[in-house]
Amino acid sequence: MHLNSAMRKRKNFHFFVLFILIWLVGCKTAEVNRFSPYKKYPASAVKQDLQSMELMLKNNHPSLYWYIDSVVLADAFKRGYIAIKDSMTEPAIRNLFNEVLMVVRCGHTSVQHSKIYGRYISWKAPSGFPLSLKIANDSSLVVTASFNRADSVFRRGTSVLSINGLSAKKLIDTLSSLIPGDGYSRSFSYQLVSNNFSRFYNSRFPGDSSYHIELSDSAGNTQNIVRGFYNPYADSALRTVSLRKVKKLAPPAQIIRKETIRSFWVDTSGQYSILRFNTFSHDLKKRYIKKKFKYLNARKIPNLIIDLRNNGGGLIANSLLLARMIHDTSFVYIDSIVTPYKKLTVPAGADVKVKKKIWINIAMKWLHKKQPDGLRKFLPFAGKNYRPHKYRFDGNVYILTGGLSFSATSMFLASVKGLPRVALVGEESGGAAYGNNGIFIPDVILLHTGLRMRLPMYRIINNHRSVNNGRGVLPDIEIKADAESIRQNIDVKMRKAEAIILEKKGSVIE
């Protein structure tokens, strides 16, 4: 009797928890369904949030004048205030605020959509501009896909010369200016635009309902094509089932989710292995890194390709562990981590809410120490010597890099670049080589519009001896995709690394 009673109570408790979860999901769904992306905020509210953003930056940012002076910053905000002439939609506000922040040249200082708008676009299928385009260089756009699968004109690899009278270069400059990045490297913004060209285009040109597109085919012939506004639910393949239902009915398996984080593969020849890390966040476990390097040593595999092209960073500790697997001798991973401020403050006149402010200030109080120059040093990591790991790899290492190699990933790249057995293959990293800003990066919610500004708390310098020229970590072997490789769907960076391995046949990189 007592057992049955306990089982009934447990069963009732599970039903209660399930009911609460269904209710919460239902509330969020209803909130999204009620939300209008066309809602406009009055000019006065937008100006108040821009002022709050300015106040928070000047009172808390650790490297506000790293690349500019106060006059440049003041001019940027002045242009921002002048541009606010009437009520604005959230995408227009976000674009304006990010264009203002561009002058700071800090990839961790940017404005994100409000929570509800972010949830809305995550549920909404892409619409509007009908093509997925990749930025091949600073003046070239190449088709990677057409949303209309029946479109036989815009095939993969087709070069787009202009859209609605704007040249490819003008479009690239316009859209990439909506994405703040580190220093003077543009590879980060180029890659983000390439990953979601349609949404960036729709955000910047919301009034376009048709698109006059000038293209160049594989034979070099040019022609002008008109395409209308793309509606995904008018596509015959999507008429009977929505993307939302597909997402619910077929969630990714646990193994698939892990594969989006990291993967490991060994060539049948035994000559090389490929390790891919798409993040250094909590999702990447240290035991996984150690296990794979232990395997490499046990099998005596002579060459290793590490793919970090889609790794936007994460935990310094994880990127440091990977560096310890590559270095042969003791090394300093980060020279300094400092801030001029004692704690995160909200100045008078700033209408904001800072997420996790209390916990960040507690951490700042206990984890940094005031220096003779007045700066406060973050004690973990900064200036410390680290020894190579016992499972370190002593063969040739080829690291694939790109515009999304950012934050903690750029720290790793800066640390291993120039080592005798290491070659960086690909493109300039999105994260700056000299250093960046981070450690704690709270969301500052701008209360009049709900947009969220990311605000880093510490200045990080990888190596004082290097020159702060605002560039990312440059590859030893630069190689980029072009129209032909995109047309043939060839991974030119991976192919290059594999070709070098086969040519050298296990010899050490000079």
| pLDDT tens readout for residues 359-397 | 999 999 999 899 999 999 999 999 999 999 999 999 999
Q: Give the CATH number, domain containing residue 164.
A: 2.30.42.10
Lowest-pLDDT range, 21-30, 165-174, 297-306? 21-30
Residue 334 included in any domain: yes
Instruction: Write the CB contacts of 436 (distance below 8 Å, at least 6 apart in sequence).
Output: 106, 107, 108, 182, 407, 410, 456, 460
pLDDT of residue 504: 80
Q: Are residues 78 and 148 in the same domain?
A: no
Q: Are residues 112 and 73 in the same domain?
A: yes
Q: Are residues 149 and 115 in the same domain?
A: no
User: In this structure, what DSSP letter does residue 432 have?
Assistant: B
Number of domains comprising the chain: 3
Residue 222 included in any domain: yes
11 — pLDDT class (breaks 50, 70, 90): low
In terms of residues, how long is the chain? 510
Q: What is the mean pLDDT of the chain?
A: 89
Q: Are residues 68 and 162 in the same domain?
A: no
Q: Give the CATH number, domain containing residue 391.
A: 3.90.226.10
pLDDT of residue 95: 97
Q: Are residues 221 and 278 in the same domain?
A: no
Residue 348 included in any domain: yes
| pLDDT tens readout for residues 220-253 | 889 999 999 998 877 544 444 444 444 444 445 5
Q: Are residues 223 and 189 in the same domain?
A: yes
In sequence order, what DSSP letters do the residues of 4-36 get, joined into one string? HHHHHHHHHHHHHHHHHHHHHHHHHHHHHHH--
Domain end residue (candidates: 90, 122, 154): 122
Residue 135 included in any domain: yes
Q: Are residues 183 and 269 in the same domain?
A: no
Residue 246 included in any domain: no
| pLDDT tens readout for residues 19-77 | 454 544 444 554 555 677 789 999 999 999 999 999 999 999 999 999 999 999 999 99
Q: Are residues 87 and 101 in the same domain?
A: yes
Domain end residue (candidates: 95, 122, 149): 122
| pLDDT tens readout for residues 171-209 | 999 999 999 999 999 999 999 999 999 999 999 999 999
Q: Are residues 494 and 354 in the same domain?
A: yes
Phi/psi of residue 5, each to 5°?
A: -65, -45
pLDDT of residue 34: 63
15 — pLDDT class (breaks 50, 70, 90): low
Residue 20 included in any domain: no
Structure tokens, 253: 């398996």
Q: What percent of the chain has pLDDT over 70?
A: 88
Q: Reduce the secondary structure of 150-188 to three states and give it as a string.
A: CCCCCCCCCEEEEECCEEHHHHHHHHHCCCCCCCCCCHH
Q: Are residues 296 and 366 in the same domain?
A: yes
510 — pLDDT class (breaks 50, 70, 90): very low
Q: Are residues 265 and 307 in the same domain?
A: yes
pLDDT of residue 246: 41
pLDDT of residue 237: 47
Q: What percent of the chain has pLDDT over 90?
A: 78
Q: Are residues 166 and 278 in the same domain?
A: no
Structural domain for 133, as ranges? 127-229
